[in-house]
Structure 1
């Protein structure tokens, strides 16, 4: 039965990689195979293992998944409302000058993608950043450069805050890193983004005219925007000072969002804040659910014990670097989940470098991250081959950021 379960996990992996070829959403395949694997664990248990013991294993996995799921649901609902109100788009164009050189604009897009991805999930940040790039109507080669920059900046920006990257959130929830230490990762991440922007800026010499978008801000939109920022700050402060779980703070912020909506729209039935839960990326949430069920199953049957062999062969620093490179081929969510389930013993500095590695390493290939997949689906110029032309630049930027992440960890814990 172990062989059958491993085959199911391998099939799930290939279904993820070949999603664009098969035209079958990875959320559907992973959820199907993840739940099937656990059903088989119940129906065909190992000798001496009772259904009650398997139920205990499942409950442990579901508790971890629920914390991640509810946090992401709350954060994505906030962003869905702000995006619908046009606040995000308005803020972007408010800070863009009417005339700007392409080189300067590349740095501005990089910085915006970096900052915004820290506040929202990677998919939303990429969608907004890609929409900005497409609105510039650049020639195909230059559009490709901007797209490469967006993918790397989005992945880099997300690693320093639990609101920005799922793998960072997963490592935090496993008590491997602390929020106040994660924030320091923004320094090497930002430096690597600027370094890549410098490499990609060669050949950009034209000047562009930016046409802004005029929108009126209503009091509800501004109230929710302020509430969202306060929720992020409160999440960090309450966790550091009182150990309050981030999911609890964000759900509290979400409840306040619903109450504010009810207060302002008391006499208007056209707007219901609960409706925004229905428009978030549920396929992403279902994908995480399926993947984490599969990884949990592999942990329970002992397969993940083999994953730590690379840490027996290489020092943690080198092993983490390789894991980052591997995340460009293997989806970083199951990879991170597998590493956490394997109970690898590392120093806090090493966990910080792993956080950077699995969060940014997927940028090396277009299929290595959700940001890359979104960019490829929205921009015609971005293909697997065209993106690979910049792999060396991306490799250099990743290496610089990884070295910086370990340096930061060494200083923090020395």
Structure 2
């Protein structure tokens, strides 16, 4: 048995000064108050559950650190994994794109090697966090079904999201916002952006609906069902369509109307942690803080900045959430939505995934990350 003492335990319901004991890979006891002089003294630091991340694009950033630059797969995975662990994330769903609205994208060239690399790294025992696959399916992509079919029964697959990033749809319903974003990101002329938009809109009409029907049917027929998420719901119709398709999570709803509809349909509501840290959406959509204050936020996702996850959770205290509630949005809630009942909470019998955190000038700093009773960062 190993004892962590003189800590502030953040359980699902309370902040508890005391100690945590774990035996092997599991939490064996929680002891309130002073536990004497045995064990590791954390000097009053916070003891939080390991974070559970359902949607991060961070691995793709390491696989392609610059436009048109492909990085070796295993070094990219190792760098991503180290960054995840340092951020306090002990379970990560690597969100990998399948299909792209940009036909010139190099993204799909990295897909098979990325999945093979994750298996290789796991088998070699060189990953710190637990890694699962979250496949982000771009429904307006011409070759989506061809790419997705070989991955349907992939053992690492634990989540599928249905996306349509075509300008004029969902996240990019405002064409002016999209023009500003893509021109700044790629430095394209207005004429080139217009030509690209015309092609994207044509492919959306041709492929999106048919691809959605085929993907939903294939996921329903899977031997082990995989959770489905909708992406960037903007209208009540978007949410209703997702609910009818068996969706259980609404990722990054862009409007208050959509978020309210998601709650009425019993969907878990996921918002971006960078949105909360920055104080708003980079694409001009609803702020995560507004949904939190309305009681319409269940889960935070780091999306493109792993370090934002814990930071954003602490900021939720400014939106009316108590610290245990706020931490649940990055631990217990995502774990339960993903069907992981063995982690995500400081409780006896669960896996010993926990963090040592110290708050410095209002910013939570991860000092130690533990997974299954072993320190990984």
User: TM-score by structure 1 length?
Assistant: 0.24
Higher strand share: 2
Greater helix content = 1
By relative contact order (CA 8 Å, sep 6+), the higher-ranking structure is 1
Q: Using structure 2 for the length normalisation, give the TM-score.
A: 0.26
